[in-house]
DNA sequence: CCTTCTAATAGTTATTTCCTATTACGTTTA
DNA sequence: TAAACGTAATAGGAAATAACTATTAGAAGG
């Protein structure tokens, strides 16, 4: 990091503003009035400024006030500075008023592909000036990224492994079963509707699951364990969409979050069956660093996400 | 007036500098040290700044300090502002150190053409960054321009008519007589050198003089009057060079300042004769507004002018 | 668990800015 | 020429602000 030795800045914006006002009015008393200060204060501040600069800015006696050449070039540059200051104030004001800003959001590929497309348009509509940057990764990596401050928020599912993360629940997502067409479980219907499947019934099935580091893999294993068996894994993929295709082609079965089973559009689509009560679900949350102040923009994103989820679940 | 609702500029350069230093160090204590203040002061000022902006600039707890998105864009703009401030300080410093600045100098066409060419080069050599703007006009107009602040200095000859002008003498300039070649006065020689002429001898001559408003016209008339006669004017011109040509072609005679008779280079050159003791002269001065502070650049110009004159008269 | 950093808070002091009153100085008017 | 007016500068004291010291509280590391 380059150390810029900045000399002591004794000059202050107030003094620039005072000088500019005097230049505009060409009269100390009137300038002081507009600045809501007394005339002697203005004289004092200007003298101080001139003394510090080592330059006379105004040629003045008791009757006339006019710029020196030095004063003229001072005013030119001072005005640029004040304009830049005004711009800075405006930018900060925009951010605090949600008319600007930036949020870096992490999400798993699954949710990125299936949930965010619903959220982002309405967020953009509501806060057109807030920039959203998306970062897709596995849930494990996302937790690390968020814990390390690389993202402001991450869309994740419980449980979180990183203890430094806090979260807000944004919704429950039911879990379905995916089987190949013609699978015996898909044939059990009641008035044409498939019957719910109990997880225990899957103990002898071949499972296709996500690779390690992806949260939903653990959810699958936990559900099977709760049902009293260890799933027989015949294939692993890091891509949930790929798994759907593999199931469709008859290589095995899998558990899948509802938002995926709802919107699968690829060529090879498996059959989705509901699971029996109590329907297993995963809790979707937006996670962020514990103890951290969330920017208003980030809060607005969370709020919009929640609203959108409520709409989706209807 | 305690209207604090939307006070204009409460932000101060000091605070920008503090914020930038914190951003550079990412550590309040070290930043405070470099700023030569105590750490609590720094915390206070930053909090005040953030409160005024309505935006958190640093995400911080007791162990880490890092920029928020708002903070990042703040620093970007703040650095621009500090750079502009530094530039302003530099410009003013240059002016006060005579490494910059501007002087508007008025001069009569005569002196502009014959004296300034000697002065300007050495001034430029000494103060290469000071800009000199020349304004040529008649002495009468120059006095008005300078009294009105349109020029910083004017090169004039005594007496000055404007009472609001002060002046510094920069030298005496002897006055010569110009006659056509072959004129009887030019024939009176002593060992080949022309004899000095007494002004009384010119009472019957035809004079070519400058137009009204030009100082040297009055000097000519005054000298004649002192010699006891009223000059017979046969022609008037506003241009001293033209008068030289007219004299050369035999239309009359004229009085001329030494610096002109010395350096006439045109096609039609008259004969220049010295005037008898006491040799009349005019006092050249640099005039400026009475009671006005002269910029250092203007003072430097005067000083350089004097030096150059001393060189010239040698 | 203790020690060590580091930022925030409390309370006080020092500095700076601002105010009122007044002076000084040009300009205009009588 | 003197008097009256308008304006910037100065003086001295009051108010506001930024600085300091001492301390607390919270995280990180041994």
Distance CA B62 to C1' D25 in A: 9
CATH number at residue B79: 1.10.10.10
Q: Tell whether B293 and B250 lie within a shared domain.
A: no
**pTM attached to this predicted model:** 0.81
Give the closest residue to A86 by CA, choosing from B8, B6, B3, B68: B8
Residue at a domain's end among B96, B122, B156: B96
The answer to the question of residue B3 being in a domain is: no
Query: CA of B162 and C1' of D1: distance in angstroms?
Result: 21
Note the pLDDT of residue A266.
65
Please tell me whether residues A127 and A179 are part of one structural domain. no
- The answer to whether the Cα torsion of B168, B260, B140, A57 is positive or negative is negative
Same structural domain for residues B55 and B91?
Answer: yes
For residues A264 and A194, membership in a common domain is answered with yes
Tell me, what CATH number does A133's domain have? 3.40.190.10
Please check whether residue B2 lies inside any domain of the structure.
no
B21 band by pLDDT with thresholds 50, 70 and 90: very high
Question: With the C-alpha atoms ordered A244, A248, A254, A258, is the resulting torsion angle positive or negative?
Answer: positive
- Considering B3-17, B71-85, B289-303, the range whose residues carry the highest mean pLDDT is B71-85
Tell if the CB–CB gap between B89 and A12 is shorter than 8 Å.
Answer: no
Residue A141 lies in a domain: yes
Give the distance, in angstroms, between residue B31 CA and nucleotide C5 C1'.
Answer: 15
Evaluate if residue B12 carries a pLDDT over 70: yes
Q: How many percent of chain B have pLDDT more than 70?
A: 95
B272 lies in the same domain as B307: no
Same structural domain, A178 and A267: yes
Q: B187 and B244 share a domain? A: yes
Q: In Å, how far is B38's CA from the nearest CA of chain A? A: 16
pLDDT at A139 over 90: no
Distance CA B191, CA B35 (A): 82
Residues, chain B: 314
Does residue B7 lie within any of the structural domains? Answer: no
Domain-embedded: residue B228? yes
- What is the mean predicted confidence (pLDDT) over A72-95? 95
Is residue B5 situated within a structural domain? Answer: no
Does A68 share its domain with A200? Answer: no
CB neighbour list of residue B143: distance below 8 Å, 6 or more residues apart: B154, B156, B160, B161, B162, B165, B287
What single DSSP character describes residue A295?
Answer: P
Which nucleotide is at minimal CA–C1' distance from A44?
Answer: D9
**Alpha-carbon distance A91 to A60, whole Å?**
38
Distance, in Å, from the CA atom of A111 to the CA atom of A285, rounded to the nearest integer, reads 11
Query: Cβ contact (<8 Å) for A84 and B89?
Result: no
**Cα-based distances in Å from B75 to B31, B70, B79, B173:** 15, 9, 6, 63
* Residue B1 belongs to some domain of the structure: no
User: What are residue A72's phi and psi, to 5 degrees?
Assistant: -65, -45
Give A57 to chain B, closest Cα distance, Å.
10
pLDDT at residue A265 above 70? no
Which of B73, B96, B119 marks a domain boundary?
B96
> Whole-number Å distance, CA A41 to C1' C17?
8
| Span A244-261, average pLDDT | 88
Q: Does A3 touch chain B (CB under 8 A)?
A: yes
Chain B residues touching A9 at Cβ < 8 A: 13-14, 17, 82, 85
Whether residues A114 and A77 share a domain: the answer is no
| Interface contact flag, B295 A88, Cβ < 8 Å | no
Residues B61 and B78 in one domain: yes
The predicted pLDDT at position A72 comes to: 95
pLDDT for A3 equals 30
Which among A59, A93, A102 has the least Cβ separation from residue B293? A59
Q: Average pLDDT for residues A240-252, to the nearest whole number?
A: 88
Nearest nucleotide by C1' from A37 CA? C18
CB of B247 closer than 8 Å to CB of B177: no
Residue with the larger pLDDT of the pair A183 and B313? A183
Candidate from A1, A53, A293 with C-beta closest to B59: A293
Residue B3 has pLDDT above 50, yes or no: no
Identify whether A7 is part of a domain: no
Q: Any idea which of A187-201, A290-304, B231-245, B297-311 has the lowest mean pLDDT? A: A187-201
Total domain count, chain B? 3
Query: What is the domain range of residue A55?
Result: 13-96
- Same domain flag for A176 and A275: yes
**In the predicted model, is pLDDT for residue B5 greater than 50?**
no
Which residue of chain A is at minimal alpha-carbon distance from B62?
Answer: A291
Residues A18 and A85 occupy one common structural domain: yes
């Amino acid at each position: 990091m380059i150390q810029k030795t900045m000399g002591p800045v004794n000059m202050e914006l107030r003094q620039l503003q005072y000088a500019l006002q005097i230049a505009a009015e060409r009269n100390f008393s009137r300038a002081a009035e507009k600045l809501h200060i007394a005339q002697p204060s203005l004289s004092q501040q200007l003298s101080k400024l001139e003394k510090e600069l080592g330059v006379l800015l105004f040629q003045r006696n008791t009757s006339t006030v006019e710029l020196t050449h030095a004063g003229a070039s001072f005013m030119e540059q001072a005005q640029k500075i004040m304009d830049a200051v005004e711009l800075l104030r405006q930018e900060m004001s925009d951010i605090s008023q949600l008319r600007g800003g930036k949020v870096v959001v992490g999400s798993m590929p699954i949710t990125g592909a299936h949930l965010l497309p619903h959220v982002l348009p309405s967020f953009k509509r509501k806060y057109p000036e807030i920039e959203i940057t998306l970062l897709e990764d596995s849930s494990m990596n996302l937790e690390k990224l968020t814990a390390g401050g690389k993202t402001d928020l991450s869309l994740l599912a419980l449980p979180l492994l990183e203890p430094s993360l806090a979260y807000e629940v944004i919704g429950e997502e039911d879990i379905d079963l995916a089987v190949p067409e013609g699978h015996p479980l898909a044939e059990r219907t009641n008035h044409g509707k498939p019957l719910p499947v109990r997880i225990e019934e899957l103990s002898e099935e071949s499972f296709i699951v996500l690779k390690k580091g992806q949260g939903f893999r653990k959810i699958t294993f936990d559900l099977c364990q709760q049902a009293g068996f260890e799933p027989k894994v015949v294939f692993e993929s890091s891509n949930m969409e790929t798994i759907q295709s593999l199931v469709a082609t008859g290589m095995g079965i899998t558990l899948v979050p509802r938002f995926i089973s709802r919107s699968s559009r690829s060529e090879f689509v498996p059959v989705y069956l509901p699971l029996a009560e109590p329907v297993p679900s995963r809790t979707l949350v937006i996670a962020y660093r514990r103890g951290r102040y969330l920017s208003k923009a980030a809060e607005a994103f969370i709020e919009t996400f929640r609203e959108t989820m409520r709409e989706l679940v209807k």
